[in-house]
Each structure stands twice: as C-alpha cells, then as structure tokens.
Chains A and B, each alone.
Chain A
Amino acid sequence: MSYAYLFKYIIIGDTGVGKSCLLLQFTDKRFQPVHDLTIGVEFGARMITIDGKPIKLQIWDTAGQEAFRSITRSYYRGAAGALLVYDITRRETFNHLTTWLEDARQHSNSNMVIMLIGNKSDLDNRREVRREEGEAFAREHGLVFMETSAKTAINVEDAFINTAKVIYEKIQEGVFDINNEANGIKIGPQHSPTSPSGLTGTGGQGNTQGGGCC
C-alpha cells in the first residue's frame, strides 16, 4: 500500500530491556519470551494511520550490548524518531539513560523525536524504577514518556504511534525539512507535491492494481 509519509525510527537502550520484543509486538503482535540477543541491527516495518493518512514506519532495532555501540551510532543520523528504552525492573538500565541520550543528541539531527520508554510494566512486583522517576527524567530532557509492556502489549501501539504523531505535527509546523532524506522522512510517491495526483488519500480502501503490495 502506498503511504503519505515514511518515518525512520531507531530503538535504543541497554541490552535485555526489551527492544526487540517491542518491535516484534508492534509488527507481528507476538511476544518472544527468550532473550534473543540482537547482533548489529534488525529491520522491521509497519503501516499506521495518522490524521487519516497512511504512514509507513521503518524501524531499526539496534543491539544494546556495548560491543555494538559504534554500529548503533551510524543509525542516529537519518532517523526521524527514536525509542529510548529502559527496563523498570533494572535500575542500572535507567541510570544509563544519560549516556544514551548524550550519544543520541551528539549523532542525530536536532529534530529527532525521542520517546522515553519504561518497559516491562507487567512486572510491577519487581519494579525498581518508579513511574514518577521516568516522568521526571523525560520532563527534564524534553522527551515524551510512556511505560509499556512488550509482553501484554500495553501501550506498545501508542508508543510507536505517539512518536509518529509528534513527528507529523513537527512536519505540519514546518520544523522538519521533508525534502532532506537525512532527516529520516520521506514523502510517499503519490503524495509528493510535484505529482499531478496531489494529496489524494489512498488510505485504507482498495489496493491499487499495479504496485498494490505493502
């Protein structure tokens, strides 16, 4: 299916916080109970709708392990959104957020939207980081915040979609230069201002016949 916009995301954060699980829950609606260490990066994609417009999310799930840090840095530039994830049951993953944020700010374009995510909210009995702490950190650094569970799927959709909403608003406000692909945003083929068909919404109904797949 064709899209109005395409956004590139990255997911970052310590190893084991549930980055790959969040992506899997979002793209496949599945949960993976075993920790399958990500090597390098893995790609995933899904279509969402915002303001009636189909938006394609292309998501790069990075490896949290220290050894892959320099590879991860190659993905900051060129991403429009980032999900910065920590694990509410492991305080050290929360403590590392400043390092992650510094890395992100240093290597990304200044408009990148960062969503802070406290994952594994289903494990409330093992909680080490209070929700208020997450909120405070987000407020202090100008991030959007949510607690999620990749296991029960709570807030997972919203985490990805709300990030897209913020990006979408920034586009409407003219903050993003949408013609610069290095910002991690692309305009859909049918939606570019130069195309004669203009902004005809193709959302939802009926696949177009030719390139009618995804």
Chain B
Amino acid sequence: MEYFKSSLKSVLGSASVENEPSGADTVERLVDRLQSSTLLNDRRDACRALKALSRTYRVEVGAQGMDALRQILEMDRTDCEIIGLALDTLCNITSPKTFDEEVDKHGPNNKVGEQFTEIFIKNADSVGLVLALLEEFEFKVRWPAIKLLMHLSTNRLKDIQEIILVSPMGVSKLMDLLGDSREVIRNDVLLLLIQLTKGNANIQKIVAFENAFDRIFDVIAQEGNVEGGIVVEDCLLLMLNLLRGNISNQNFFKEGSYIQKLTPMFQISSEHDDNPLSTWSPQKVSNVHCMVQVIRALVAPSGPAQAVSNCQRIMRACGLLQALCNILMASGVPADVLTETINTVAEVIRGNSSNQEFLAEVMAPSNPPRPAIVVLLMSMVNEKQSFALRCSVLYCFQCFLYKNEMGQSQLIQTLLPQGNEVPSLTTGQLLCGGLFSSDSLSNWFSAVALSYALIEDNTQKEQLLRVLLATNIGKPPVTLMQQCVMLLQQGSKAQCKLGLLILLCRWTAHCLAAVKSFLLIDSSIAYLTALLSSQENNDDLQETLLQSMCAMLIGLCVHFNDNSISNYTKEKLCNLIENRIGLERFQDAIGGLARHEVYSRTLKHPQPSAKNPSELLLDHEFCRLSKTLEGVIIKSVLDGSSLHQKNEIATPILPDSVLITQYKDVIREQSSQIQKLNQLTESLVKEKNELEV
C-alpha cells in the first residue's frame, strides 16, 4: 500500500503543491505518459496511477485513456504486469455498477459503464485482443480479462455474443478455461459462460460441442453434487441454458448418455431423517430446483413428440423417474421442492404409457400403504396445502391421464358400484369428496381432474353417467350428473361453477347419451338460459367467463343432440337460444372466451399458470376443447335457427372465411393428432425392435 501511494505521488509529481489540479488534468498527463513514454517502467507507473484514478475519475479516464489502454493491450502483450493493470483499469471503466466514489458526480444509476463498453467494442478488434489474452496463464492477466468480458457482456450482451462468435475459436478459448485449476478462474468463467449462452443457440451449440456437459458434470462432482455450494448451482444454470429450447443440444445430451448421469444427483440420502432442516439447506433447495428444471427442459410438452418420448423412456430406464418418486414420498422435503418435483414427474410421465404405469404402481410409505397417486390427490383436495402444491398435483394428474385410456377407465371404475364394499380410499372417492366439499378450490380441482378422465373417451363418459350418489337416508340416490347440475344451480361461488361447467362441457362433448341425460335433468337448460340472458356484467371476469361457458354448454347440447327428447330437439333449443338469448349475444358469449387474456395464457401451456387461487378459472384441456368446437357449435346453432326461419329475413351467418379458418383449425388439430400417433407407432415399433434384438 505504501509503495502504491508513493508511486502515485511520483507519477503525479509535485502537482499537489500548486493549485489543486483537476482530475481531468492529472488523467490527461497520465494518459500522455502512457502513450508516449518509451520506458516500460514509466508506462507501468502511469498505468498503475490511471487504475487508481479510474473509479473516482472514471469518466475522465475512460474518455481520454481508452485508446491508450487498448494500445497497451496490443503493444505490451509480453508484459503481464502492465497488461494486468490496463485490464483492471478497463474493468473499472466499463463496470456495470456505479462506484461509491462517483455517485456525487454522476448519480447513482448512471450509464457510464455501458457507454464506455459501446466505445470499447466499436473497434471490433478490442474484444479479440481480450480473448487472445485469455491464453496467458498468468493469473493477473487471465483473471481481469475474464472480468472485463463479463462487464462487456453484462452491458452489451448481443453485441459481445456476435463478436465472440466470429472471433476465431472465441468460445473454445473460454471453454478451455473451465479446466483451470484455480477455482476463482473456473468459477468466473462459469459465470461468463452462463451470460454468453443466454438466448444464443449458436454459442450454446459450440459450448456443448466443446464437451461442456462433461466439464459441468466433473465440476458438479468435485463440488459435492447436490450437497455442493453455489458453484454447483452455477453449473446447473449453465446446463439449463444449453438445453432449454435447443433441440440440437437436447439430442446431443440424450445421445451422449448424460441423462443417466443425472440419476445419482437425485438420489438424495434420507439418512439424516432426524434432522430434516440440516439436510435441506437453502443452497441444496436451489440446486434441486435447477436440477428439476434441467429435466423439464428435456421433456417439455412443447418439445418435439418423438424426442420427448425418447427422453421419457430413458428417464424411466435409468432410474431417474424412480429417484424423483422417492423424493415425492420422502419426509421432510420442503414444500417448494416437493411442488417442483411433482411438476417434473408430471412431465416425465406425460403421454408415456409405461411411465404412467410406473407412477400408478408407486406406493407411499403411509400406514396403511396407499398408492402415491391417492396420496397426491389427498393433498389436492386438502385446504391446508399450499396453492402451488395443489396446482402441481392437478398438473401431475392431468399428465397421468393424458393419452392414458387405462388410467382413465380405472379412475371411473372406482366410482362405479362394486360387488363388495371397497375398503380403501380410492381416487374416485377423493375426487367426489372434493367435488362436493365446501372449499371452492377443491371443487374446481376435483371437477377438472375428473374431466381429464373423459378426454377423448366416450366409453368413460357413458360409464360416468351410471354413477349414483347416496344422499340423505330415505331419499333415493341421485346421479353424479344431477348432483353437479344441482350444485351449479345452488352454489354461490363462481370458481366452483366454472369447474362444474368445465366438467359438464367435457362430458357432453361428442357424447349423445350425456347430452340426453343433461337435458332430462330438471331445469338444467332453464338455468343456463337464465344465466346467459341475465343482466350483462362485462366488468366481472368470472361472470363473463361463466356466461361464455354456459353458452358453450348449450351449444354442445345443440350440436351433439340426437333429437330424442321432444322438448329439447336441436330445433327447439335453437329457437330457445334465438328468443331467450339472441343469436348475436350467444355468439358473442361463445366467442368472447378467446378474447380473455386468461384464455390465451391457459391455452399456451398445459401447466396451470395461476399464481393465486382467484386466478384459477380456466383449464388448459378445456380451452383446447373450446378452441376446436367453437366453430362447429356456432354453425350448428346458426343452421338450426336458419332452418326454422328460412322464409323470414336473411339470417346472419358466419362469413366463409371465418368458417374456413375454423375448419382449418379442426383439420390441423386432427392432422397433428395423426402425426403424433404415427410418431408414437414409429417409436413403439422401434422400441419393440430394440427389445427383440
């Protein structure tokens, strides 16, 4: 420190004796000396002094010294001392944060660092110079070079990414540093790579090509796996950046057998059961959160079906699914970890029959032992559980029943009268309990969960019609559907009604028998028309959604109507709509659904996106149903009414273009389904062949 002060004094000369020189003057003299002195020692001193001033006089040093510093990087490459000082100075000048020393002059949130970054990289070679310096092993060069790149990319990410991509071996040079035995270097390179891989598929691929996954797993192992510190988390964040949305890298990850390497990380020991708090440090929680995100990046429902199903298969075969289920059933797991694990299990089993079967067979270590699914559903209909956890269970259940005919039928079976009393608690009983509980969230969850058992399965829709519920002693039992309609009419909570309408819409869609049963229920249609024709209440989201869904349900009753009930034939229902509600209003109500933000948000991803209970109104599968059927329903209703008033005024019909788009949607939906099925067949055949080999 003493040495530092004296050298500063010698550089500044006797200036302080005279009038206080301005910072700018001093900087100017130093820059001048840095540029013109022929003596290396002299230049070093000047550079050292500039560095010392580069916080307090950041603007001056940057404005006047940038070129000189750049020149040093180029000309004095062989002298680590001065290069280190120049890099340090540049780091200060371009720092994204505001130094305490400069707050007075430039305010707390100035953009000085960003502006100097812009100036520095304007000369395209600058970044190349810094990249070249990475090859210098000397700590005092390599380290600030990494830091400088970090500052530059924090300020101007896109530009730096492009420059690095065109610099010869730019990314490779960075990757080499991951092997540096000095932890500080390795850790900072990790941070830099996390930064540089953000949103840039090309860099992500090169990093992966350069054996990033091997390096990352090495570091994770060295740092203690899931029990490790922040470095483990950084490794996982980098891994996540490389995989998320990058199909080529996902394929590489799968083909490189890296999925298998995730399994041991999830084998979280339960030895310390006596003190669960110590085993779940905040860092470990963060690590697990990142780990499950890595898994989800590979099996995201938005990914290509074939690739997703391959990954799912591997995850089961290598024990990863088992390990995840173990976490589900372990004690002392923090709620947010549990929630995310459930969401992850959901996506690992989604649409994959073997994995779904696997989950169906997992038993919880409860007393008496119960299937894991039952235990999960118990949490879903339990008011005391956190909202996020309950949502995750619904998502898991949705994924469990997705394209799972067997699972769907087994659920409905549990509701049908059995020969002998079933002693144990079943999924069906739990959902019925939830359906009629006093907690409107439980109502919604249960109704929607039950609707998943009916997706694309008319047999189950008809089976469910047979379900009878015992009511008060002495009164005859009522059907499940009657009970739902009664609840719809008597209930006061919008959320509960929305859930019931989701269930009833799913039930009646494509099922003539269900429509018939619905129409036969006392005042079922009267209730719907009354609600639809009631005072408009456009401000209330729940009210408008309710009206839209009522319109939807009436429409379904028109479209899937076999005219067997004389009071409610297609034609009579259409008349009713026209006279009681008005065609325009009916159309508005149905079409209005798609105009809500919550609709598009819900449609986007199968996982419930609600952050709090009041936002939980629509369901993904329901939105998809309404999207495919909206067009044909409106057409049915309009056709029905135009039939009846053929000789009267011309009826408004949908413009062809609208109909065509609607048909196109239907066709697209179907063809994507065909495609998916084809892919599924293909993969099954492949799987079969592999098994035969």
Contacts and interface: CB of A to CB of B under 8 A. Distances in A.
A143 interface: no
Contacts of B252: 43, 45, 58
Contacts of A74: 165, 169-172, 206, 209
Contacts of B211: 78, 181
Contacts of B317: 211-213
Contact of A45 (B249, B251, B260, B313): B251
Contact of B318 (A41, A45, A205, A213): A213
B209 A78 contact: yes
A26 interface: no
Interface in B166-214: 166-172, 201-202, 205-206, 209-211, 214
Contacts, number: 76
Residue with the greatest number of chain A CB neighbours at <10 A, chosen from B167, B259, B317:
B317
Contacts of A204: 693
B254 interface: yes
A71 B206 contact: yes
Contact of A73 (B168, B210, B254, B319): B168
B255 interface: yes
B334 interface: no
A58 B205 contact: no
Contacts of B672: none
B257 interface: yes
A60 to B, nearest CB: 6
Contacts of A207: 690
Contact of A78 (B172, B202, B248, B256): B172
A41 B248 contact: yes
B63 interface: no
Interface residues of A, number: 28
Interface residues of B, number: 33
B165 A71 contact: yes
Given A78-B209, A107-B168, A213-B318, A43 B260 contact: no
Given A181-B211, A181-B214, A214-B257, A43 B251 contact: yes
A42 B248 contact: yes
A75 interface: yes
Interface in B148-172: 165-172
A73 B169 contact: yes
Contact of B172 (A40, A70, A77, A210): A77
B314 interface: yes
Given A107-B168, A181-B214, A75 B254 contact: no
11 contacts: A8-B209, A40-B205, A41-B202, A43-B205, A43-B251, A70-B165, A70-B167, A74-B165, A75-B209, A205-B693, A210-B318
Given A42-B248, A70-B167, A213-B259, 15 more contacts: A2-B257, A45-B251, A45-B252, A60-B209, A70-B165, A74-B165, A74-B171, A75-B206, A77-B169, A77-B172, A78-B210, A211-B257, A211-B318, A213-B314, A214-B314
